[in-house]
Amino acid sequence: MLRKFVSLTLALLLAHVCAAPVSARTKVEKDAARAAKVRQGVLKLGTGEGSLVKVRLRDGAKLRGFVSAADEASFTVTDAKTRVATVVPYGQVQQVKGNNLSNGAKVAIGVGIAVLVVAILWAAADKDFSN
């Protein structure tokens, strides 16, 4: 029994090691891909006071506010309270989190709430008539 367990464990470990993905991309390519992904996310959020973001930079600094401008090489985060604008190059960003919803998502939430209210009212009215 012990021999079967040991051989099964070794076989699984060997399969795990052999199946590990190999990354042939250089650090520069990885950084460029990350910057492009960040740029796409920021452009998707849009600009204006409704596009709230939390940004963590590679040096550990954190920014919070809204995206007031975005171009090909950088974007500007403006603090909502102090109105201090900080220009951030896409390559310096480690993580961006956006907090805004699209208009379609807002409409879907509103319709969902309306349907829920109608269902509750219908159930309450049906209960009153059955007594």
Residue 39: what residue type? R
Report yes or no on 20 lying in a domain. Answer: no
What is the domain extent for residue 127? 101-131
Q: How many helices (H) and strands (E) does the chain have?
A: 3, 5
Ranges 13-22, 98-107, 109-118: which has the least confidence: 13-22
123 and 73 in one domain?
no
Cα of 60 vs its chain's centroid, Å: 19
Q: Would the pLDDT of 22 be above 60?
A: no
Q: What is the pLDDT of residues 71-104, one digit of tens each?
A: 888 999 999 889 999 999 998 998 888 866 667 7
pLDDT value at residue 12: 76
89 and 49 in one domain?
yes
User: What total number of domains does the chain contain?
Assistant: 2
Q: What is the pLDDT of residues 116-126, one digit of tens each?
A: 998 888 888 77
Residue 116 Cα distances to 19, 50, 74, 108, 129, angstroms: 48, 27, 43, 12, 20
Q: Are 75 and 67 in contact (CB under 8 A)?
A: yes
106 and 77 in one domain?
no
